[in-house]
Structures are given as C-alpha cells and as structure tokens.
C-alpha cells in the first residue's frame, strides 16, 4: 500500500503539479511538499508528492554500487 512512484515536475500552479511519470503526465497535489519546484524529481503516493529525490544521495548510492561490483567474486 505504501507503493510510490518517481516522477518529474514539469509544471507547478499553486499546490498542483503536472508530473511526468515515465512519459505519462498526471496532476499531483503538492500539499504535502509545498517547496517542490518544476524540474524536481519527486516521489508520488496516492496522488500526492510526498518527498523529493536527493540527486546527490542517489548518485552516491549508484557510485558505491559501481565501485563494489569491481570486487565481486565472479562465478567460475
């Protein structure tokens, strides 16, 4: 039930955002994330943006995974 999907805000009018979710456009409420701006990647749950994606943190996680794969023991 706590499933949420990421999307990019392409337009913001007051507390209503137009969000691009994998090519599909939807209207999403910003009542729970009023500081979100056009261009932000946000997490959407039940028609509301609930959190912003921290791109620097996402990059760190990705870089860590890329780094670790170099140390993986390959199956013979």
- List of residues contacting another protein (CB under 8 A): 1-4, 29, 31-35, 43, 45-48, 50-51, 53-55, 57-58, 60-62, 65-66, 68-75
Judged by CB, which is closer to another protein: 38, or 61?
61
Distances (CA, A) of 17 to 8, 21, 56, 61: 10, 12, 23, 28
Least distance (Å) from another protein to the CB of residue 64? 8
Least distance (Å) from another protein to the CB of residue 29? 6
């Amino acid at each position: 039930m706590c499933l949420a999907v990421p999307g990019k805000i392409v337009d913001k009018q007051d507390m209503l955002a137009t969000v691009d979710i994998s090519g599909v456009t939807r209207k999403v409420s910003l009542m729970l994330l009023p500081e979100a701006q056009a261009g932000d990647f946000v997490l959407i749950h039940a028609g509301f943006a609930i959190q912003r994606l921290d791109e620097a943190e996402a990059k760190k996680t990705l870089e860590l995974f890329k780094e670790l794969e170099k140390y993986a023991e390959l199956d013979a």
